[in-house]
Amino acid sequence: MKEVMEQSSDKVLENALANGVDLMNFMTKFQWDKAKYPTSLPLSSLADIINKEVSQVEAELKSRAAAYKNVKASLENLEHKLDGSLQTCSLNDVVRKEDLVVSEYLTTLLVVVARYLQWERTYESLSEFVVPRSSRKLYENREEGVFSVTLFKRAVCEFRAKAQESNFLMLWCIIYVPLSLSQGIFVRWLKVNFSEVFVAWIHLKALRVFVESVLRYGLPVNYQALLMQTDRKHSKKLKKELASLFVHLDPTASITDVSCDIPGLCQQEYFSYICFHISTNVLDIS
């Protein structure tokens, strides 16, 4: 179980990239994207662009997640053990992705055939658009078997009708394999849009550092932004050292009983310097 979780975590971190590089590498080499967020625009417009971009991703994420959840729920409702009829049981453990041909013109159907029927001798005659010798036996029990057959999509209705006339039961393969296909598409979408959102988030952090500095220390702009890497064990000590080093910038920050009327800003968050936390560990975001 531990090994499975570690492998899953490694897979997540492997795909958690920003502009094609790991998050820490992106952070240490960060440069403002002037093409995407023109610095000639007012700060409020830049913030609106970022917020709109992230909101669109969030809305699509909810839609895609709901669709994936529905597919998964539908498949779970079909789950039965293979000791029942092949007409009603799930074929998830029988049908593999490589058993199917799905292209612009071709598709693969599944057929349940009683053992006394001559499927392999007759399936090519059910339509002239069947791919010759494309049928494969995927599973068989004492009463019936599951066969695949590949044909042109234009002939699916014709083939289905003639198969039923011959007492062959047609199953739409799409019923049994959408989860793995949908999962792959969903994961690829997540990978691309994680990068987009993380990049937008870092730009928003940089924008906020600038705005907060102007609000705190005024004009003209004469500030230096730095990226400092630490961990939970040493972050408290680092903050204390920084507070001591920059206490002259805002002496009130060192007063423990100082009250603050700024909404959302508590005593623990107020320093003599501007500081924002950025976590690059996607498995440990709190």
Which three-class secondary structure state does DSSP give residue 81? coil
Above pLDDT 90, what percent of the chain? 36
pLDDT digits (tens, 9 = 90+) for 99-145: 888 788 888 888 888 887 889 999 999 999 999 999 999 888 888 88
Angle at the Cα of 204 from the Cα atoms of 202 and 207, rounded to 5 degrees: 115
Domains of the chain by start residue, with CATH: 1-67+184-283 (1.20.1460), 91-171 (3.30.70.100)
In the chain the beta strands, taken as DSSP E runs, fall at 17-18, 21-22, 106-114, 136-140, 144-152, 169-171
User: What span, in angstroms and rounded, lies between the C-alpha atoms of 226 and 261?
Assistant: 28
Task: Tell me: pLDDT of 77 over 70.
Answer: no
Above pLDDT 70, what percent of the chain? 78
Task: Tell me: pLDDT of 5 over 50.
Answer: no
167 CB-near residues (< 8 Å, 6+ apart): 114, 117
For range 166-173, the mean pLDDT: 72
As given in the structure block, the two tokens for residue 265 are 């800003």
The pLDDT-based confidence of 56 (bands split at 50, 70, 90) is very high
Which three-class secondary structure state does DSSP give residue 171? strand
What's the whole-model pTM score?
A: 0.64
- Give me the chain's average pLDDT, please: 81
pLDDT digits (tens, 9 = 90+) for 227-273: 998 888 888 889 889 988 998 888 877 554 445 554 444 445 678 88
Angle at the Cα of 41 from the Cα atoms of 37 and 43, rounded to 5 degrees: 85
User: What span, in angstroms and rounded, lies between the C-alpha atoms of 86 and 114?
Assistant: 10
